[in-house]
Copies of this chain bind each other. A is one copy, B any other.
Amino acid sequence: MPDKLNILVWNEGVHEARNEPETMAEMYPSGIHGAIAEGLKGFYPDSSITTATLADPEHGLSEETLAATDVLLWWGHVAHAEVSDEVVERVQRHVLGGMGLIVLHSGHFARIFTKLLGTTCSLKWRNDGERELVWTVKPSHPIAAGVESPIVIPKQEMYGELFDIPEPDDLIFISSFEGGEVFRSGVTFSRGKGRIFYFSPGDQEYPVYHQPQIQQVIANGVGWVAQPAQFREAPGVGNARRDWYL
């Protein structure tokens, strides 16, 4: 993995502000974004790991910030509609230009995700605190490196097929739930010069982001979606309308 990355963990931050559910403050005292950032520190000790939320000016996603970001992680749930058109388009442009993007859990309905994929990204769900098993199906992929198969998550919200996404470039993980549902829980996409990793485990009601194996997958994902700066500037790759990107 690259030594020094600029990693930005974005969270709408609404569950934290409302303390919903009531366990939120205790489970994630520094917010879901704080926990994710904390989990990454052990893997990227020399990298810059910062956070931003919806309430920040420009949602903390200014042109300047994105231009300096190698990997953006996205967590959202109840406030997708409040992310401005301008910011969604700006993030899309940076992803197409080479910035890595990791979308987590309920971020499947984030406007940036549906905009990049072109489908509804809808799915089945049921929140009964079921056991989730995350099975590796592409062991040759770096995102699966060092990951147990299955990862056992004691309690999780069920996400089930049909997951309305385009055919992913890589299908790395498939989950099952106690009710018998299955879900393509770890998938990658390439869009323009950028890489996207979607990983479904993680919810505001369960302490999933504290599990070491989940942290391992997210750290692997960061390494995989990251594109060293010089890569974005390869001579001659690009097209007649280079400025459409960055």
Contacts and interface: CB of A to CB of B under 8 A. Distances in A.
Interface string A200-215: 0000000000000000
B115 A234 contact: no
A116 B193 CA distance: 18
Nearest to A147: B234
A175 interface: yes
B227 A140 contact: yes
Interface stretch (A24-32, A57-65, A78-86, A183-191): A183-191
* Interface size band for A: 35 or more
A18 interface: no
A120 B140 contact: no
Given A150-B236, A190-B166, A236-B148, A182 B135 contact: yes
A14 interface: no
B162 A139 contact: yes
Q: Give the copy number.
A: 4
Given A190-B166, A236-B148, A161 B181 contact: no
A43 interface: no
Interface stretch (A4-12, A67-75, A121-129): A121-129
Nearest to A92: B118
Contacts of A20: none
A182 B190 contact: no
Given A145-B234, A234-B148, A189 B162 contact: no
Given A176-B182, A182-B174, A240-B125, A162 B191 contact: no
A193 B139 contact: yes
Contacts of A240: 122-125
A235 to B, nearest CB: 5
Given A163-B137, A182-B135, A234-B144, A96 B119 contact: yes
Given A140-B195, A161-B239, A166-B166, 10 more contacts: A120-B244, A123-B240, A139-B193, A145-B228, A147-B234, A162-B239, A164-B192, A167-B190, A174-B174, A176-B180
